[in-house]
Amino acid sequence: MVTGIDPNRIPTHVALVMDGNGRWAQRRGLKRTDGHAAGEEALFDTVEGALELGITWLTVYAFSTENWKRPADEVRYLMGFNESILVRRRDEMNDRGVRMRFIGRRDWRVPRRLIKHMDRSIELTRNNRRMTFTIAFNYGGRAELVDAIKAMMADGVKPEKVTEKKLRQYFYDPEMPDPDLMIRTSGEYRISNYLLWEIAYSELIFTETLWPDFRREHLFDAVREYQDRERRFGGIEKED
């Protein structure tokens, strides 16, 4: 096990906001898209680190419902880049025992080819159980709630049957547990519409590291900090 990490208190679900690609590139006199490209190594080193720790759910924010506001060139690049990552990496993920899933709105703006590769990745890795690696793509926490409520109403669920548990069943991935730990890189202290409902009691860690510089050691640091925190869930301190 990794030094200073208690193997019995590994967070089950870690959610990541991979932020700072543009600034990373800008500081090097490169294009913003070069920053996204450099984020690939960060992502797959982090996946390896998560596997090493025995984290069983890892969810990463790849494209938000608000990211459509970016220049068309950048949006186009991100669509192609995400497709190419799936094509190039899914066999390796499958070999590592990783199950791939996606959360987000599959609306007309998401290229059909990307959707096709999402479905292929899901299908290829569906029986893996070592870790579930979820990519939040065209994801927004508010959109997820709206979509869940719509689906629940379409099912004819009566108001008196609406509970937190019931609503949860209509989320993009009803099996996904709430994150224990949410990490955001790049020194931005905000949620940016990520997993709004699900992070109600997550421990939040913000780091100055820009996403392309993030490596498994940064994940280990975050897990150490997480293990130093005391989670109360609205209760009171546990007696030793």
- For ligand IPE, the binding residues (CB under 6 A) are 17-23, 61-64, 67, 78, 186, 188, 190, 192, 211
Edge-first strand listing for the sheet containing 13-17: 98-103, 131-139, 57-64, 13-17, 181-184, 203-206
- Residue 216 CB, shortest distance to Mg ion, in Å, is 22
What are the DSSP E strand ranges found in 97-218?
Answer: 98-103, 131-139, 181-184, 203-206
Round to whole Å and give the CA distance between 33 and 25.
8
- Residue 108 CB, shortest distance to Mg ion, in Å, is 25
> By C-beta, is 23 or 168 nearer to ligand IPE?
23
**DSSP state for residue 199 in the 8-state scheme:** T
- Residue 137 CB, shortest distance to ligand IPE, in Å, is 9
Per-position b or e across 75-89, b if 16+ CB within 10 A of its CB = eebbbebbbebbeeb
Rg, the chain, Cα only: 18
Partner whose footprint covers residue 17, from ligand IPE, Mg ion, none (CB < 5 to 8 Å by kind): ligand IPE
Which one of the listed residues 19, 21, 34, 138 is annotated catalytic? Answer: 19
- Residue 111 CB, shortest distance to ligand IPE, in Å, is 16
**DSSP state for residue 132 in the 8-state scheme:** E
Window of 11-19, 35-43, 130-138, 158-166 that interacts with Mg ion by CB under 5 A: 11-19
Burial class, 94, CB count within 10 angstroms (exposed 0-12 / middle 13-18 / buried 19+): middle
- Residue 36 CB, shortest distance to ligand IPE, in Å, is 6
Round to whole Å and give the CA distance between 166 and 170.
7
Active site (annotated) includes residue 67: yes
> Mask of contacts with Mg ion, 14-53, x by CB under 5 A?
-----x----------------------------------
Partner whose footprint covers residue 142, from Mg ion, ligand IPE, none (CB < 5 to 8 Å by kind): none
Amino acid at 56: T
- Residues in 70-129 that interact with Mg ion by CB under 5 A: none
Closest by CA to 188, choosing from 20, 14, 16, is 20
Active site (annotated) includes residue 45: no
- Residues in 163-202 that interact with Mg ion by CB under 5 A: none
Q: Which residue is nearest to ligand IPE (CB)?
A: 22
Which one of the listed residues 67, 94, 128, 193 is annotated catalytic? Answer: 67
Round to whole Å and give the CA distance between 22 and 37.
10
Give yes or no for residue 210 binding Mg ion (CB under 5 A). no
Which residues are known to be catalytic? 19, 67
Instruction: List interacting residues with Mg ion (CB under 5 A).
Output: 19
